[in-house]
Amino acid sequence: HRAQRDKIGMASLLDSIPGVGPKKRKALLNAFDNSIDRIRKASIEELTTVKGVNAQLAEVIKSVL
């Protein structure tokens, strides 16, 4: 149950970011091993390697997380 609860928590945190919908959320989680912490620690350049994430959105993600 903990894994499911953690995934829901991760999803809701990413959903709160303007410009991140279900597809980008899934792509971000897949790219960073389902870890919000890894997304949080990623550089702008690393975030922009995810499909649909440009530099502007990467900056928003960094500021929210």
Give per-residue pLDDT as tens, 8-54.
455 678 888 999 998 999 999 999 999 989 999 999 999 999 999 99
- 1 pLDDT higher than 50: no
Per-residue model confidence (pLDDT) at position 12: 72
Give 7's pLDDT tier (boundaries 50, 70, 90): low
CATH number at residue 26: 1.10.150.20
How many structural domains does the chain have?
1
Beta-carbon contacts of 47 under 8 Å, excluding residues fewer than 6 positions away, are: 28, 39, 53, 57, 58, 61, 62
Assessment of whether the complete model's pTM goes beyond 0.85: no
Radius of gyration, CA atoms only, the chain: 11
